[in-house]
């Protein structure tokens, strides 16, 4: 019997970190871990910058922690890879990885999505403008007064830092009545 026990011990899996015998359920690649070290190792391998949180998950983080502990992008589909996640005003279309404003609008027009932004917090709004022809585009951030901060009237990647004066639950790009151009790579992050 002692020989059988020695043979069994050699076949038994052990944690690569602490040497604790394991049952083979906690594998990363071909390495075996005990449950505690498996959890720690999995947490290490998570790249928080690559996590895409839904707006609902971001709202829950804000509700639980009082702020976003991860400098997460508050925009979903800011690369306009698909024609989803956005409410488009007159003149706006999404195709070929860009949102395009055609100039067919007779007054200011917006493209927007729901998001949670907290009063008193500063946010960095970044957008790439291409195919610029005319007009202005900016960030709508005060609903009561209709205030908008504008990006430069030219092609390129531009950023604005804006302190949120009121709580406002949208990411909104607001274009003038004569804006014609494309936007891409739109992001909103806490400053």
Q: How far is CA 115 from CA 74, 94, 125, 129, 170, in A?
A: 7, 19, 13, 22, 5
Q: What is the pLDDT of residues 158-189, one digit of tens each?
A: 999 988 887 778 889 999 999 999 999 999 99
Res 106 pLDDT > 50 = yes
Closest by Cα among 69, 81, 72 to 53: 72
pLDDT of 112 > 90? The answer is: yes
Q: pLDDT digit string (tens) for 32-62?
A: 666 666 666 655 554 544 555 555 565 555 5
Strand-pair partners of 109: 175
Average pLDDT of the residues of the chain: 78
Higher pLDDT, 83 or 147: 83
* Structural domain spans, the chain: 2-46, 51-190
Note the CATH number of domain 51-190: 2.60.120.260
DSSP state of 152: P
Q: CA-CA distance, 113 to 85, in Å (whole number)?
A: 6
Across 22-36, 74-88, 91-105, 130-144, least confident range = 22-36
């Amino acid at each position: 019997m002692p020989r059988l026990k020695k043979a069994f011990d050699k076949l038994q899996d052990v944690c690569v970190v602490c040497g604790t015998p394991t049952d083979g359920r906690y594998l990363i690649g071909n390495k075996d871990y005990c449950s505690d070290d498996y959890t720690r190792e999995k947490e290490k391998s998570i790249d928080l910058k690559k996590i895409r949180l839904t707006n609902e998950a971001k709202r829950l983080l804000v509700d639980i922690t009082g702020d976003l502990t991860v400098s997460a992008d508050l925009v979903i589909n800011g690369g306009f890879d698909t024609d989803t996640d956005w409410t488009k005003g007159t003149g706006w279309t999404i195709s070929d990885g860009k949102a395009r404003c055609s100039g067919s609008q007779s007054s200011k027009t917006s493209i927007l999505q729901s998001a949670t932004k907290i009063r008193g917090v500063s946010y960095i709004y970044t957008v790439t403008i291409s195919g610029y022809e005319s007009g202005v585009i900016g960030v709508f951030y005060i609903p009561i007064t209709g205030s908008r901060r504008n990006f430069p009237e030219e092609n390129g990647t531009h950023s604005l830092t804006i302190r949120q004066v009121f709580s406002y639950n949208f990411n909104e790009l607001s274009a003038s009545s004569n804006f014609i151009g494309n936007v891409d790579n739109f992001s909103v992050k806490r400053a």
